[in-house]
Amino acid sequence: MLHEILLSLSGHPSPLLHTPPSPEADALAGITPPERQLLSSARHISDLNTNLIAYSTEISTTHSSTICRAVATAISSIHLAAFQRKVLQVEESILKNDADWVGAYNIVPLTAIMGEFQQWTRRLEWLWDTDYVCVENCLPSFVTGATAASMIFIGKSLNHVRAMNSTSSSSGGVAHVSAKLQELSALTLPLENSEFSKAVKAIRTSLSQNTLQKMLPLAKVSEMIQLLRDFFLLGRGEFAMALTHEADERIRNRWRRAGNLAYEKDDGLKNLTVKDGEVAAVLNRTWAVLVSMQGQHAEEDDQLELARSLIQLHLTKSKPPAALVTGRGLDVQAANVLAASPFRNMLFSVPAMLSLDLPSPLDMVISPSDLQLYSSINAYLLSLRRAHMRLTDLWKITSLRRHYPSPRGASDHAVTLRERWSDRSWLLRSTWTTASAAIFFLAETEAYFQTEIVKTLWDNFHAWLVPSQPQRSGRATPIDHHHSQPPSQHSHDPQTLSTAHTLYLRTLTHRLLLTQASFTDQLYALLQHIDHLVTHIHRLHSLFTSLDLEHDAGVVDAFVDLEREQSQVFSSLHDIQLKVKQGIDNVVSALRNLESDAAFLAEWDGQGLVDDEGEERGYVPCRVGGVDRLLMKLDFGSWLGGTAWEG
């Protein structure tokens, strides 16, 4: 009973502490009314501790506010940790037969235990009670959402300037901001929405023009966003190919090593666990491959060197630790879908993702939530590229796909080989048809995502970010030269860049259908079936090689029944083919359902993405091809439908 009480106080609910439906139940259990009163106090403390543990964990990992996450983490790491240490201290004293706790005949009074925890009741109740709430109706009417965001950005910028030990020019910029602050004191009551917003905007503009442009030039921001485009959005295809190849090679080596150890030890399969060091080694090997592809006399790739110093590949938990910030363009439901995205498991069969170690000034434009979106999109696109590559690599197994006919008048052995190859080709005909259909599906889907979605949105955003200068035709007259103005540089301030980049990234996430669970779940299931199909074909190829050695060279393995294993692989391969076909049909059906979904179409058109309070020259995402264009490409025809497809 004492053990049950201490477990419940530690946060594990126990049925012993629940009030029974009738007093007779307590009598049958041997619990007296005074003991039941003490158990009710223990239940109250246990419920408070359990609720605090659950909610503090959820808030510290998923809440959009940094302050809320910090408070929840402090509650968990300070107060709840101290309470847990108190429980362990009481348990240790009882186990050591401390005279303060254990009486005659090893009896531990329940009143002594509950008296020790009575002082924690008030603290836990204080932590649990909602004494402070945020009522949106009580917010000042003259502060809009855009104005509040500008005020937060100004404070963040000043902290960056102070932390970076700014130069004299930056100090002058802060002095300009101090002068602009006098405009706030000049405002008269009652404050008007437009006047207050204009004053805050003037402060932000002054800070951007005098300080932030020197600390965070546009070229530096453009370079980092271009790096994210090339390596996270697969702009450089050789990076995705090398990373996929090295990861697959690492997994194959682990299986070979585990198979060799299985003959020596019984726990050989335990060595299949992927470790962080091996994942980092895969990325290092990928960088080495990319450097070797440049050639000996090629110019140095500055972007590649920058990526090597910033990009990391590491294992993650089932859910990413960083929380996605919800807001315009990304609601709570979409954030939950992205957090539960399973595509991180495709590369190593365990959750792994790319991340970027962002330098300090650039985090004013690119937030951790944006980097989390980049990682999710990268895992999504990389899974499609990996499945496509694994399927196309099957055609490189020449001995499995192509057999040269023997000449007329050949020996009986040649006739036997020709019959064996013909039987295998006939058995694998439907397998190659299914693999071809899957390649067609992946090629068209990946081409649609990369060319019509990623490239189009990137070109549109990059044109807004770095506008090209118009070409002046003809020779300039002296009058033209006298009145000519320098080309206008529409330099966006960091807050405008951050807002536009977040909007671009969230639009890209929606257009890639990554927030549509009905589509991504079916696509992930299809990619898993394709992995199984490729694995079974490779296994069948190794069995064919072993059978040929057994029949032609007399190399016999007495511990393996190759004929029986071959029949089992063929049976499993047939089942996997049906699953791949059904998976393609399910994905296409999900696309057709999205095509007729009014809410999805409204979201696709950008409703709710563009803020009415946005400033002039704000970024507006361009329109791209809809789902109907992808469905037109995936219209397989009769060879993937009806009797031909079933065969």
What is the DSSP track for 207-235?
HIIIIIHHHS-HHHHHHHHHHHHHHTS-S
The answer to whether 9 and 87 have CB atoms below 8 angstroms apart is yes
Nearest in space to 50 (alpha carbons), one of 90, 78, 17, 8: 8
pLDDT at 1: 64
629 vs 480: which has the higher pLDDT? 629
The structure tokens listed for 416 are 């036997």
The number of CA neighbours under 13 Å toward the Cβ of 3 is: 1
Written as one string, the DSSP assignment of 46-114 is HHHHHHHHHHHHHHHHH-S-HHHHHHHHHIIIIIIHHHHHHHHHHHHHHHTT-TTT--GGG---HHHHH
Nearest in space to 157 (alpha carbons), one of 206, 225, 222: 206
Lowest-pLDDT choice from 91-95, 500-504, 566-570, 634-638: 634-638
The structure tokens listed for 407 are 């000449």
The helix/strand/coil state of 355 is strand
pLDDT at 172: 52
pLDDT at 472: 44
The structure tokens listed for 231 are 């390596």
The number of CA neighbours under 13 Å toward the Cβ of 550 is: 13
Q: How far apart are CA 241 and CA 289, in angstroms?
A: 10
The answer to whether 330 and 509 have CB atoms below 8 angstroms apart is yes
Identify the band that residue 57 occupies on the pLDDT scale cut at 50, 70 and 90. Answer: confident
Identify the band that residue 239 occupies on the pLDDT scale cut at 50, 70 and 90. Answer: very high
Cβ neighbours for 631, distance < 8 A, ≥ 6 positions apart: 588, 591, 592, 595
Nearest in space to 217 (alpha carbons), one of 528, 492, 483, 574: 492
Beta strands in 284-388 (DSSP E): 311-315, 352-356
| pLDDT(242) > 70 | yes
Cβ neighbours for 77, distance < 8 A, ≥ 6 positions apart: none
- Summarize the confidence of residues 35-43 as an average pLDDT: 73
- Span 93-114, pLDDT tens digits: 777 777 766 766 667 777 777 7
Instruction: Give the chain's length.
Output: 647
- Summarize the confidence of residues 596-606 as an average pLDDT: 81
377 vs 3: which has the higher pLDDT? 377
pLDDT at 362: 87
Dihedral, CA atoms, 366, 371, 376, 381, nearest 10 degrees? 70
Identify the band that residue 8 occupies on the pLDDT scale cut at 50, 70 and 90. Answer: confident
- Span 189-225, pLDDT tens digits: 777 778 888 888 888 887 777 777 778 888 889 999 9
State whether the Cα torsion 628-630-631-635 is positive or negative. Answer: positive
φ, ψ of residue 312 in degrees (nearest 5):
-130, 150
- CB-based burial, 492-526: b 16+ in 10 Å, e otherwise: bbbbbbbbbbbbbbbbbbbbbbbbbbbbbbbbbbb
Q: How far apart are CA 140 and CA 138, in angstroms?
A: 6
Cβ neighbours for 556, distance < 8 A, ≥ 6 positions apart: 550
Q: How far apart are CA 239 and CA 289, in angstroms?
A: 9
- Summarize the confidence of residues 39-49 as an average pLDDT: 80
What residues are paired with 314 via a beta bridge? 353
Output the pTM of the full model: 0.74
- Span 148-157, pLDDT tens digits: 778 888 887 7
pLDDT at 333: 80
Identify the band that residue 514 occupies on the pLDDT scale cut at 50, 70 and 90. Answer: very high
If you search the block for the tokens 């990619």, which residue do you land on?
A: 527
| Highest-confidence segment of 15-19, 21-25, 67-71, 353-357 | 353-357
Identify the band that residue 470 occupies on the pLDDT scale cut at 50, 70 and 90. Answer: very low
The answer to whether 465 and 612 have CB atoms below 8 angstroms apart is no
- Span 532-563, pLDDT tens digits: 999 999 888 888 877 877 776 766 666 677 78
Nearest in space to 56 (alpha carbons), one of 21, 90, 11, 15: 11
| pLDDT(264) > 60 | no
pLDDT at 22: 55
The helix/strand/coil state of 314 is strand
The answer to whether 370 and 501 have CB atoms below 8 angstroms apart is yes
Name the average pLDDT for the chain. Answer: 78
pLDDT above 70 covers a percentage of the chain that reads 74
DSSP H or E segment with residue 287: helix 276-293
- Summarize the confidence of residues 251-262 as an average pLDDT: 63
Domain locations in the chain as residue ranges: 2-128, 137-216, 370-405+412-467+491-647
Q: How far apart are CA 442 and CA 584, in angstroms?
A: 10
The structure tokens listed for 369 are 């939530």
The structure tokens listed for 543 are 């069995």
- List Cβ<8 Å contacts ≥24 apart for 76-83: 76/52, 79/52, 79/123, 79/124, 79/127, 80/49, 80/52, 80/53, 80/56, 83/49, 83/120, 83/124
Identify the band that residue 16 occupies on the pLDDT scale cut at 50, 70 and 90. Answer: low
Lowest-pLDDT choice from 184-188, 280-284, 407-411: 407-411
Nearest in space to 156 (alpha carbons), one of 365, 423, 390: 365
Position 181, amino acid = L
pLDDT at 460: 92
Q: Determine if residue 5 is left, alpha or beta; phi over 0 gives left, psi from -120 to 50 gives alpha, anything else beta.
A: alpha
What residues are paired with 312 via a beta bridge? 355
Q: How far apart are CA 236 and CA 229, in angstroms?
A: 9
Q: How far apart are CA 618 and CA 496, in angstroms?
A: 7
pLDDT at 388: 95
CA angle at residue 642 from 638 to 647, to 5 degrees? 100
If you search the block for the tokens 């990861």, which residue do you land on?
A: 247
| pLDDT(594) > 80 | yes
The answer to whether 384 and 531 have CB atoms below 8 angstroms apart is no
Cβ neighbours for 176, distance < 8 A, ≥ 6 positions apart: 206, 207, 210, 211
pLDDT at 270: 45
The structure tokens listed for 452 are 């019509």
pLDDT at 282: 92
- Span 627-646, pLDDT tens digits: 888 888 887 544 454 444 54
pLDDT at 617: 58
